[in-house]
Each structure stands twice: as structure tokens, then as C-alpha cells.
Amino acid sequence: MDKAIFILGPTGVGKSEIAIKLALNLRGKIISSDSVAIYKGFDIGSAKITKEEMQGVKHYAIDIVEPNEYFSVYDFVEFTRQKIHEINEKGNLPIVVGGTGLYIKALTQGYNFGGTEKHDDFRQENQILAQEKGSQVLWDNLNKINPQMAEKISPNNTKRLIRALEVCQFGSEQTKNKIDLQSLTFALNLDRAILYDRINARVDKMITQGLIDEVENLLKSGVKIDSQPMKAIGYKEVVEFLNGNIDEKTSIELIKQHSRNYAKRQLTFLRGMEGIIYVDALDRQKAFNQILTQTENFLGRR
């Protein structure tokens, strides 16, 4: 059975720093579970980790989706389970890091997608069709059935097109993904006042780094206002400013307020999950030592 470590917690708590230290100590590879960092070009507002900050540790699930494409919880689970297995097969430790609780809950505890399980024959037929006539044929078929879904998927993305057609064909079936994973889950936390101060400072840094220019350039490049990542905190407020609905100061304050509210929801979501080990992140070294020790015990190295 595959093993994985999960390092969760609210936005701004410092998950990446500790995860990278753990990876450097235990030959780990990191899989991001951030629902915005998966999108190309959405860098500043998602606080996307930089190459320098990675310190040579391999990161997955960053910059893997085009801005106007749709990426579902199902997509995340399929992608992440595959990467966890690959990392285990190579003798390394998968470390899943992030704050999108729904992604993690779906991966570790199961989630009813309201869709359908795999239908291998159906997938193979459409794969052959795409090979013989091109993936545009799949897109045309999907567009006839569900134009709204087709609009969100590139005609060149064969895998997503087949999955979308599968959901349309068999979508009446309700399924819960099967869990075959041994995991250890940590949740970092801070005193609420300290966390909120960190979030406010983080937003100020994003503005200084050029968040407004980033959003403006994304829109100019053809990213749609109603695209999935443009609805995320930090982006939707800037869009409101650029559209003249609010002033710049108000947009910044709204980003801070919405980020704090989101952190509160993240903590509430975590409390509803099972088997989580809470770690006080105020003393970074102490927090890391606790996680390292328990991870080594989990792996049977002590």
C-alpha cells in the first residue's frame, strides 16, 4: 500500500517551509493541493512557490492547467493518486501540501463526485477515435451534448474530453472514490490574531509584487473573467477594481477580509476531518521536529 504525508493548514500558516525541510530530510517529493496554483500564470495571487524557494525539491501539481480550463476534485484525486504511487515506486516520500480541504478529504476519506466510475471500454473507444480522427472530434461530440462543459476544455486535451464525455454518458451513477492509501496528516495552526496579521502582511506583499498587473495581463491575454481561477480570492477583488466597481484600497481590504474568512473556513473544515495531528506553528523549529519525529515513526525508521 502506498504511503503519504499530508501537511495542511490555513492560508499563510507556513506549510511550504516545513514541507520542504521534511522533504530534504526524508527524500521527499511535494504534491501541491492548492486549487489556484495548478493554473499557469496565476502566480502572485496564489502565493505560488518559486524555484528558489523549492530548494531543489521536486514539486507536482503546479502550473499543470491552462487558465480557461476546468479542473475538478475528481481530476485532482486521479492526478495525485497517480503521483503518490509513482513517488512510492521510486522509493521516495510523497508529501501533499496545501489548504484546499475538499481536495484532501476526497483523496484520503473518499468523496461522492456525483459522476461515474471508470468505464474502460468507453474510454478505449474514444481514445481510438481521437487517434484516428483527432481530439477535435471528441470536442465536437461533447459540444453537442454539453456546450457549457465543452467551453471549459481545450479541444487538444484528449484525456479531459474523454472524462467529460464519460460523465455525460454515465453521469446518473453516483460513486465514491476508493481509498487505498496509508497516510499521516498534520495540520499547522497559529493563534488567530497572529495568523490574521500574517495574512494581512501576505496580501500587502502580493500587491507590492504586482498582483494588480498580473490580473490585468491575464485578462489581456484572453483569460476569461468567469474562469475558475479568476474567481479565487485575490483575483476576483482585483477584477472588481479593474472594472471600476470599487477603488484600489477597497479591493485590497476585501482581499484581506476574504482571506481571513477563508482561513477560518479552512480550520472549520479541518476539524471535520478524522485522524489529524495538530501542530502549533509558532515555533517553526519545534513544529518541524515534531513532524519529523512522528513521520519517521510512521515510516518505521525509528
Q: Collapse the DSSP code of 72 into the 3-class scheme (helix H, G, I; strand E, B; otherwise coil) and give the result.
A: coil
Dihedral sign for Cα 132, 40, 57, 30, please: negative
Per-residue pLDDT reduced to its tens digit, 194-208: 999 999 999 999 999
Task: Give the residue with greater pLDDT, 220 vs 170.
Answer: 220
Q: Measure the CA–CA gap between 205 and 138, rounded to whole angstroms.
A: 44
Q: How many Cα atoms sit within 13 Å of 29 on the Cβ side?
A: 19
184 phi/psi in degrees, rounded to 5: -130, 125
Per-residue pLDDT reduced to its tens digit, 69-100: 888 887 888 899 999 999 999 999 999 999 88
Per-residue pLDDT reduced to its tens digit, 144-190: 888 878 888 888 889 888 888 888 776 644 445 556 789 999 999 99
What's residue 141's pLDDT?
85
Q: Measure the CA–CA gap between 48 and 29, rounded to whole angstroms.
A: 16
Per-residue pLDDT reduced to its tens digit, 265-292: 999 988 888 889 999 999 999 999 999 9
Q: Grid coordinates representing 185?
A: 496528516
Q: What percent of the chain has pLDDT over 70?
A: 93
What's residue 123's pLDDT?
86
- Weakest mean pLDDT among 46-55, 131-140, 166-175, 205-214: 166-175
**pLDDT surpasses 50 at 110:** yes
What's residue 172's pLDDT?
47
Q: Are 276 and 112 in contact (CB under 8 A)?
A: no
Q: What percent of the chain has pLDDT over 90?
A: 65
**pLDDT surpasses 50 at 44:** yes
**pLDDT surpasses 60 at 113:** no
Of all helices (H) and strands (E), which one includes residue 74?
helix 73-89
Provide mean pLDDT across the span 106-119: 65
SS3 for the chain is CEEEEEEECCCCCCHHHHHHHHHHHHCEEEEECCCCCCECCCCCCCCCCCHHHHCCCCEECCCCECCCCCCCHHHHHHHHHHHHHHHHHCCCEEEEEECCHHHHHHHHHCCECCCCCCCHHHHHHHHHHHHHHCHHHHHHHHHHHCHHHHHCCCCCCHHHHHHHHHHHHHCCCCCECCCCEEEEEEEEECCHHHHHHHHHHHHHHHHHHCHHHHHHHHHHCCCCCCCCHHHCCCCHHHHHHHCCCCCHHHHHHHHHHHHHHHHHHHHHHHHCCCCEEEEECCCHHHHHHHHHHHHHHHHCCC
**pLDDT surpasses 70 at 111:** no
Q: Collapse the DSSP code of 187 into the 3-class scheme (helix H, G, I; strand E, B; otherwise coil) and give the result.
A: strand
| Mean pLDDT rounded to a whole number for the chain | 90
pTM above 0.85, yes or no: no
Q: Measure the CA–CA gap between 292 and 272, rounded to whole angstroms.
A: 25
Provide mean pLDDT across the span 59-66: 96
Q: Are 138 and 126 in contact (CB under 8 A)?
A: yes
Per-residue pLDDT reduced to its tens digit, 257-267: 999 999 999 99
Provide mean pLDDT across the span 98-113: 76
Place of cell 524557494: 53
What's residue 174's pLDDT?
45
258 phi/psi in degrees, rounded to 5: -65, -35
Residue 124 CB neighbours (<10 A): 11
**pLDDT surpasses 70 at 42:** yes
